[in-house]
Structure 1
Amino acid sequence: MREFLVELTTVVPEGTDPAEADRIRAAEAVRARELASRGHLLRLWRPVGELRSIGVWCADDERELREKVLGSLPLWPWMTAVVTPLQEHPNDPGRAR
């Protein structure tokens, strides 16, 4: 599988019932754990004071990432994604792991 750096921004549509948004966020947390257990979500961060998330995700290719991995997130219809394919760096201290 290839690794991708993904920046996700979620915007809840105006007029959405807060209870519905909370239900979808709870489902999102469950799905993220499932994707992590399957090796698709390696790391996820939220920059301090920002509403976007940055993560390292894995898939066979970008199409699978967008359609099957990210597309399976309950919040996906409310998200925009910036996907950057990653490659190994010869000086990466994590390569030896």
Structure 2
Amino acid sequence: MKFMCQMSITFPESMSPETKADYQAQEKEYSQALQRAGEFEAIYRVAGRYANVSIFEVESNDRLHEILSGFPMFPYMDIVTTPLCKHPNSIK
């Protein structure tokens, strides 16, 4: 099952730069492991925002939820999830 997830992150203003940097390092490690495993197909930065659009290929809705809730920054994320289907005009 393929999903597009639009994610934006809002940290509390009271969070220290060191804590933010720690979250960012953990997030990078977690997301790259998912990419190497093949479940996290692509990630694109949204220009001008602390946000991304990500494409996941997973076995179930439950697996997607497990992945998303496992992100270290999950408590600070707003996520919009859209299931995707192959378009009939696609040549790939």
TM-score under structure 2 length normalisation: 0.92
Task: Give 1:49's aligned residue.
Answer: 48
Secondary structure of the residue that 1:31 maps to in structure 2?
helix
Query: How many residues end up aligned between the 2 structures?
Result: 92
| Structure 1 stretches of 4+ moved >4 Å | none
What is the CA-CA distance between 1:44 and the residue it aligns to? 0.5
Task: Give 1:9's aligned residue.
Answer: 8
Task: Give 1:69's aligned residue.
Answer: 67
Partner amino acid for 1:73?
F
CA deviation string 1:25-65 (max 9, x = no partner): 01100111100111111010012212210010122222321
Secondary structure of the residue that 1:45 maps to in structure 2?
strand
Note if contact 1:40-1:69 (Cα within 8 Å) is conserved in structure 2. no
* Structure 2 gap segments, 5+ residues each: none
Task: Give 2:82's aligned residue.
Answer: 84
What is the CA-CA distance between 1:92 and the residue it aligns to? 1.2
* Structure 1 gap segments, 5+ residues each: none
TM-score under structure 1 length normalisation: 0.88
Secondary structure of the residue that 1:84 maps to in structure 2?
strand
Task: Give 1:27's aligned residue.
Answer: 26
Secondary structure of the residue that 1:34 maps to in structure 2?
helix
